[in-house]
A and B are shown apart, each in its own frame.
Chain A
Amino acid sequence: MIRPKGFRAANKRYLMIFVPMMALYCAALIFAMTFIDMKTASAAARTGAALGVSLPLAAILWSIMRLVRETDEYTRLRQLQALSEAGVMLTALVFVLGFMERFNVIPDIPLFLFGPAFFFLYGFAHVRQILGKTV
């Protein structure tokens, strides 16, 4: 079990993963969209592009969870509240849009859009905390 390391050490370890992984994500996304034609490229190239973009995001999510485990108690509480709010709001969104899709009210929505939606809601929950609001 990872023991709490305190605010500064936890933040440092978080940024050591977040900054390079975000840079890698941006570079992989730009490279994939600029140099790989998804209609004509080989399956290996398309797979590589997909993993090159998605694995850094997975690493960032893992670093967020590690930050939550290692940081100081109040920051952990705020992070857990933001994560749980984002999770609840995203789940509600999935249900609403999912049933609208199933009942042919709206066209199919690409699954990967729920990833950015989660990060948006996570940020939104943090803004709500700053404003002193909770669900």
Chain B
Amino acid sequence: MENTIRTLRAEKGWSQQQLADLLDVSRQSVNAIETGKYDPSLPLAFAIARLFERQIEDIFDDGRRAAE
């Protein structure tokens, strides 16, 4: 699944480690999510969305919205 976390993180000026600390996950987790290697669970996706003050759909794209 694609996401805009790297862009949003850059806008805030946060490093991967800073974002990881805010979410209470490992830096490797943030990196894996950003690179699309790992899709977060719904609770973590909500936590990310809340942190960036966005809707989940604004951050994560499963590639189906274009088809709709």
A residues apposed to B, CB below 8 Å? 6-9, 71-75, 77-78
The answer to whether B29 and A75 touch across the interface, beta carbons within 8 angstroms, is yes
B 16-48 to A, binary, CB cutoff 8 A, 1 in contact else 0: 000011001110110011000010110010000
Q: Is the pair A77, B24 in contact by a Cβ cutoff of 8 Å? A: no
Partner of B24, one of A6, A74, A78: A6
Check A72–B26 contact: CB distance below 8 A.
Answer: yes
Size class of the contact patch on chain B: 10 to 19
8 Å CB contact of A73 from B20, B21, B41: B41
A-side contacts of B26, CB under 8 Å: 7, 71-72, 74-75
A75 surroundings in chain B (CB, below 8 A): 25-26, 28-29
Q: Looking at A71, A72, A75, A77, which has the most chain B CB atoms within 10 Å of its CB?
A: A72
Closest to B20 in A: A7
**CB-CB nearest in chain A for B24:** A6
Closest to A73 in B: B41
On whether A7 and B25 interact (CB within 8 A), knowing A73-B44, A74-B32, A74-B33, the answer reads: yes
Please determine whether B38 and A6 come into contact, CB atoms closer than 8 angstroms: no
A78 to B24, CA, bound (A): 17
In the complex formed, the residue of A with least CB distance to B44 is A73
A7–B40 contact, CB under 8 A? no
What are 24 A-B pairs with beta-carbon distances under 8 A?
A6-B24, A7-B24, A7-B26, A8-B21, A8-B24, A9-B24, A71-B26, A72-B24, A72-B26, A72-B29, A72-B44, A73-B25, A73-B29, A73-B44, A74-B25, A74-B28, A74-B29, A74-B32, A74-B33, A74-B38, A75-B26, A75-B29, A77-B38, A78-B28
Contacts of B32 in A (CB 8 A): 74
**The 4 A-B residue pairs with the shortest CB-CB distance in the complex, in nearest-first order:** A6-B24, A74-B29, A72-B25, A7-B26
Residues of B contacting A74 in the complex (Cβ-Cβ under 8 angstroms) = 25-26, 28-29, 32-33, 38, 40
